Amino acid sequence: MYKKLIVTFLFITTSLLFLIYIINMLIDPYVLSSSTGHISNQEIRITKPIKVLENSPQKVLIGNSRNNYSSDLIGEEHSNFYNLSLSGIGINEIAKLFYHAVYSNNSNLKLAYISLDSVCDPKDSLHESKFIDERFLIKPNNNTYSILFNKYALYTSYDTLILSIENATKGFLNEVGRQTIFNEGDYLAKGAAHALRKKEEITIGAKSNKKPAQSIIFEDYIKTCETKSLVKILDIAKKENIQLTFFINPVNVRYWEIQRQKNSLQHYLFNKIIIKKTIDASLIGAKNPIKVIDFRKLNKFTLERLSYHDAADLYYEYWYESSHFTNKFGEMITNVLQHDEYNNTAISSNLLDIDIEADFKQQLNSLKNWRLNNTDLVREIEQAKNCTQNSC
């Protein structure tokens, strides 16, 4: 009698696990068995590190959500390139991903484009992004497919199935690792103006649940800023002879204004100064020259007008919302990176070659002019800042 119960137990258990596995195999929520496919925002963190292990690219681009949605390398470079960017990650995770790309078994890495939107390490583990899934760095499971036995994979399969029914004609992850449809926060579907409003309410309104920053001078700021992740990246690159090109992503002028209203605009300047100091110190003895291409400037692309009151069916040319640029702008950026055209002063300059403070003053002047000419937009941001949970 007990033997029959044990057989029943084993049969039910293995059947259920295999059912989960087969469903997950068929839907392939992590895009493991193909080069492109539908993928949810969450699961991309599993797929990308695995794809780097499988593809051994010569060039990688590692950045945050801005690059996850908007950065391809163009032309023949395509085949040797992988976009390892993930939404929500900071410098600490970027360093881990860089380490992963450099030290994976069959690594062919020669060149890395790395985003330095924020160079200071998180103060403590609580503020560290948990988005990256460290199980899949360097040493993935002996059998990657074993993750398909998991119930989370089953939930993801369900999401993926819905995603593929709703967007049957569109691929979500392309062959070089870019998520081709912007679904950050999942609010673009209602229109760009809606996305803009939602994002800004979350960034600066009461929903952000953050107290406004206090105005701070550089000497105080530097005390709170550790750069061990950047130093780690520089050390690895020097040791393994990897060419590095850093870059700072652009944001729309509205985002500059948001930072101004939050007393955080000076952080843009401080970030650039710290990058320059850290890299200058590391360049001694380095074989490869390092560039830091600064796209965080006000120019005709970043000054594109975005408003809450724009029509719902209007989609902006260069922006999904104020902090995420479209693939069209992304292509211009990767073109500059790819062909070393950073002296194209319309959108960029090499941070290591310029007077950072003078350049920043120039940007502030542009911002001042923009504020004078766009008082309605400034007011929109002020209203978003003062909104409460109920009124937004």
Question: Shortest Cβ distance from residue 208 to other proteins (Å)?
Answer: 11
Question: Shortest Cβ distance from residue 88 to other proteins (Å)?
Answer: 12
- List the one residue out of 88, 103, 290, 307 whose CA is nearest residue 197: 307
Burial (Cβ within 10 Å: 0-12, 13-18, ≥19) of residue 372: exposed
Q: By CB under 8 A, which span of 6-14, 182-190, 322-330, 340-348 interacts with other proteins? A: 6-14
Note whether 358 binds other proteins by CB under 8 A: no
Candidates 66, 154, 287, 368: give the one binding other proteins (CB under 8 A): 154
Question: Shortest Cβ distance from residue 12 to other proteins (Å)?
Answer: 4
The answer to whether 222 touches 333, Cβ cutoff 8 Å, is no
Question: Shortest Cβ distance from residue 66 to other proteins (Å)?
Answer: 21
Output 44 or 60, the one with its CB closest to other proteins.
Answer: 44
Q: By CB under 8 A, which span of 5-13, 84-92, 281-289, 355-363 interacts with other proteins? A: 5-13
The answer to whether 319 touches 305, Cβ cutoff 8 Å, is no
Output 11 or 103, the one with its CB closest to other proteins.
Answer: 11
At 241, list the tokens. Answer: 């002879």
- b/e sequence 240-260, b meaning 16+ C-beta within 10 Å: eebbbbbbbbbbbbbbbbbbb
- List the one residue out of 112, 93, 79 whose CA is nearest residue 45: 93
Candidates 105, 142, 375, 388: give the one binding other proteins (CB under 8 A): 388
Amino acid residing at 197:
R
Binding-residue total with other proteins (CB under 8 A): 29
Question: Shortest Cβ distance from residue 381 to other proteins (Å)?
Answer: 20
Question: Shortest Cβ distance from residue 176 to other proteins (Å)?
Answer: 28
Cα separation values, 70 from 61, 204, 330, 365, Å: 11, 24, 5, 29
State the angle between helix axes of 192-204 and 375-386 in degrees (0 to 180), rounded to the nearest 10: 50
The answer to whether 293 touches 336, Cβ cutoff 8 Å, is yes
Using CB under 8 A as the binding rule, the residues of this chain from 178 to 217 that contact other proteins are 206, 209
Q: By CB under 8 A, which span of 11-19, 114-122, 181-189, 245-253 interacts with other proteins? A: 11-19
Question: Shortest Cβ distance from residue 278 to other proteins (Å)?
Answer: 26
Question: Shortest Cβ distance from residue 2 to other proteins (Å)?
Answer: 4
- Report the 10 Å Cβ neighbour count for 170: 11
Using CB under 8 A as the binding rule, the residues of this chain from 243 to 302 that contact other proteins are none
Note whether 25 binds other proteins by CB under 8 A: no
Amino acid residing at 370:
W
**Alpha helices in 339-374, H assignment, sequence order:** 356-373
Using CB under 8 A as the binding rule, the residues of this chain from 113 to 152 that contact other proteins are 123-126, 135, 149-152
Residue 81, helix vs strand vs coil: strand
Note whether 5 binds other proteins by CB under 8 A: yes
Instruction: Please report, as ranges, the residues that interact with other proteins according to CB under 8 A.
Output: 1-3, 5-6, 8-13, 16-17, 20, 123-126, 135, 149-152, 154, 206, 209, 388-390
